[in-house]
Amino acid sequence: MVSQELDYFRAIIQADMAPLAKVTDVSEMHTLSERLGQRVWLKREDQQPVYSFKLRGAYNKLRQLPKGSLVITASAGNHAQGVALSAAHLGHRAIIVMPVTTPEIKVNSVRNFGGEVVLHGHNFDAAKAHAFELTEQMNAVFVPPFDDKDVIIGQGTVARELMQQLNELDAVFIPVGGGGLLAGMAVYIKSLRPDIQIIGVEAQESACLQAALEAGEPVELAQVGGFADGVAVKIIGSETFRLAQKFCDQVVTVSADEICAAVQDIFVETRAIAEPSGALSLAGLKKWSQQGKRAGLNLAAVLRGQI
């Protein structure tokens, strides 16, 4: 392992998520396991205070800063809530730029977590451009949603917990948007157990990692669909792609129908109502298992978030 990846591994080991981000459960999917002929586990990141793993990356990024820092980000979803809650806990001021089209329930949620919301633009790109402008004008710290070393390290703590909770694993299925969760989890798992398969799972309508792997570099998709809006990213991050290219064994893409079926599976077994992007990795696990793979494997998927 080169020193750069070793640095990630060590940082993930040392990253202290307490007391804000909790150690989430791993639930066995008994009915689905029997149906697939595998042993299927679900890492329950929907149990975080903001109902998503995004809290981990935001918290790890913000805890590196001096108390009282001004942080700015752009997000219409879970990253916004993670930054807002982390900033409030650590004594920072957080400004979150959100598109004017953001549902009121999400805007209010960010405000309730302590974030200052600025509504700007009719899409995420416009909101992000404005966030960059504010960051420069106000001499603030911009908090990227995925393509940042400290954010990647925070997301990697999901893998640290998973490896402590499950002794036997053959493959781990990780949802991919911008690639932060995949990058952090993959570098940690492969550092300990290179025999474990790392499978990235993308929505067919926003498969930016698959496009980047085919091109050999990040490429911008002409458009992305909004059904799995939590992973609707046009271009994967440069650092997240570098790590994914090195440590991801395979990418599986799934349709909206396959995601809906996974949402139903999760509800039947756990009573959690997963958002479409939250059920993405389980949809990929099911598809992969049904493609003639050998039975009796120990498979884990990450429930990235719930509605």
Kindly report the CATH number assigned to the domain that includes residue 108. Answer: 3.40.50.1100
User: Torsion angle of alpha carbons 206, 210, 215, 216, nearest 10°?
Assistant: 130
Please indicate, yes or no, whether residues 98 and 237 belong to a single structural domain of this protein. Answer: no
Please indicate, yes or no, whether residues 135 and 246 belong to a single structural domain of this protein. Answer: no
Please indicate, yes or no, whether residues 94 and 20 belong to a single structural domain of this protein. Answer: no
Lowest mean pLDDT among 58-62, 104-108, 217-221: 104-108
Which residues on neighbouring strands pair with residue 203, listed in sequence order?
254
Please indicate, yes or no, whether residues 185 and 250 belong to a single structural domain of this protein. Answer: yes
The pLDDT assigned to 226 comes to 80
Of 119, 139, 159, at which residue does a domain stop?
A: 139
Please indicate, yes or no, whether residues 212 and 252 belong to a single structural domain of this protein. Answer: yes
Per-residue pLDDT band at 186 (split at 50, 70, 90): very high
The pLDDT assigned to 162 comes to 98
Is position 155 within any domain?
yes
Please indicate, yes or no, whether residues 115 and 155 belong to a single structural domain of this protein. Answer: no
Count of Cβ atoms closer than 10 Å to residue 91 Cβ? 12
Q: Which amino acid makes up residue 277?
A: S
Q: Which amino acid makes up residue 292?
A: G
pLDDT in tens, 14-55: 999 999 999 999 999 999 999 999 999 999 999 999 999 999
How many structural domains are present in the chain? 2
Please indicate, yes or no, whether residues 170 and 76 belong to a single structural domain of this protein. Answer: no
pLDDT value at 123 more than 70 = yes
pLDDT value at 1 more than 70 = no
Is position 281 within any domain?
yes
Of 98, 120, 139, at which residue does a domain stop?
A: 139
The pLDDT assigned to 47 comes to 95
Enter the pTM of the model: 0.94
Per-residue pLDDT band at 214 (split at 50, 70, 90): very high
The pLDDT assigned to 217 comes to 96
Please indicate, yes or no, whether residues 178 and 77 belong to a single structural domain of this protein. Answer: no
Please indicate, yes or no, whether residues 75 and 154 belong to a single structural domain of this protein. Answer: no
Is position 76 within any domain?
yes
- Classify residue 129 by burial, with Cβ atoms within 10 Å: 0-12, 13-18, 19+: middle
pLDDT in tens, 148-182: 999 999 999 999 999 999 999 999 999 999 999 99
What angle do the packed helices 180-192 and 149-165 form, to 10 degrees?
Answer: 50
Please indicate, yes or no, whether residues 167 and 288 belong to a single structural domain of this protein. Answer: yes
Is position 108 within any domain?
yes
Percent of the residues in the chain that have a pLDDT greater than 70, as a whole number = 99
Interval 104-124 mean pLDDT: 91
pLDDT value at 294 more than 90 = no
User: Torsion angle of alpha carbons 102, 179, 242, 201, nearest 10°?
Assistant: -140
Q: Which two tokens stand for residue 135?
A: 């960051």
Please indicate, yes or no, whether residues 227 and 281 belong to a single structural domain of this protein. Answer: yes
Per-residue pLDDT band at 105 (split at 50, 70, 90): confident
Is position 62 within any domain?
no
The pLDDT assigned to 239 comes to 96
Is position 64 within any domain?
no
pLDDT in tens, 107-116: 999 999 999 9
Is position 195 within any domain?
yes
Q: How far apart are CA 94 and CA 21, in angstroms?
A: 18
The pLDDT assigned to 261 comes to 97
User: Are the C-beta atoms of 300 and 41 separated by less than 8 Å?
Assistant: yes
Residue numbers of the domain that contains 213:
3-52+148-303
Q: How far apart are CA 201 and CA 197, in angstroms?
A: 13
Percent of the residues in the chain that have a pLDDT greater than 90, as a whole number = 83
Of 115, 139, 163, at which residue does a domain stop?
A: 139
Is position 60 within any domain?
no
Please indicate, yes or no, whether residues 12 and 119 belong to a single structural domain of this protein. Answer: no
